[in-house]
Amino acid sequence: MAATGCSGKSMPGSVSVSQQKLQEMVSSRFPRQFPVAGLLHLNLSAPQLAMVPERNAINAQIPAELTGKVLKEKYNGLLNVDFSLRYEPTDRTLRAYQIKVNSLTMDGLAPALSDMLATYSTALAEQAMGQVVLYQLQDKELALVEAMAMEPGAITVTQQGLTVQLLQKTPQDAKR
């Protein structure tokens, strides 16, 4: 602490990540393709993220395309999900979890196929977004934090992006 006091630098209390940075990172993880009941393929494009600070969540609107040998044509639609974030210390990443499907709609799809797709929507959303890395904390962001035996804590969704609180490590964590 004396070193930071002498240098005139104050200890950071948080790390901020912009919505744009989150959007860039998640977009790099798509497109993705998922089999549905062994007969169909759901192709998901890069989601459009929206911050939902009142629920401390992020909303993702994911363009979808349904294809398969049993279909005469391809169908376009949208998967709408909300999710929270968690910090993964092994690789310093912020990852999606607690995924909630709001809707999965496919334009022009027969009702029976729509019902079948709805049955699989939660599993598909968890495959698509579950554990997706939204951001990886950089060495420069964590260098001083680690030197001061601190670690990321609560993740708060704001209108502009995320704020990751920095907390003092417990003595047993600091020994690791």
Residue closest to 164 by CA, chosen among 25, 43, 17: 17
pLDDT given at position 3: 30
**78-88 residue pLDDT tens:** 999 999 999 88
> Could you report the per-residue pLDDT of 40-60, keeping only the tens digit for each?
899 999 999 999 999 999 999
pLDDT digits (tens, 9 = 90+) for 91-128: 888 999 999 999 999 999 988 888 888 888 888 888 88
Q: Is it the case that residue 174 has pLDDT exceeding 60?
A: no
Question: pTM for this structure?
Answer: 0.82
Tokens of residue 27, six digits:
């977009």
Q: Which residues contact 76 (CB under 8 A, 6 or more apart)?
A: 63, 64, 65, 66, 106, 107
Looking at residue 44, its pLDDT comes to 94
Evaluate if residue 171 carries a pLDDT over 70.
Answer: no
**pLDDT for 11:** 55
The pLDDT score that the predictor gives to residue 84 is: 94
Tokens of 104: 């999965």
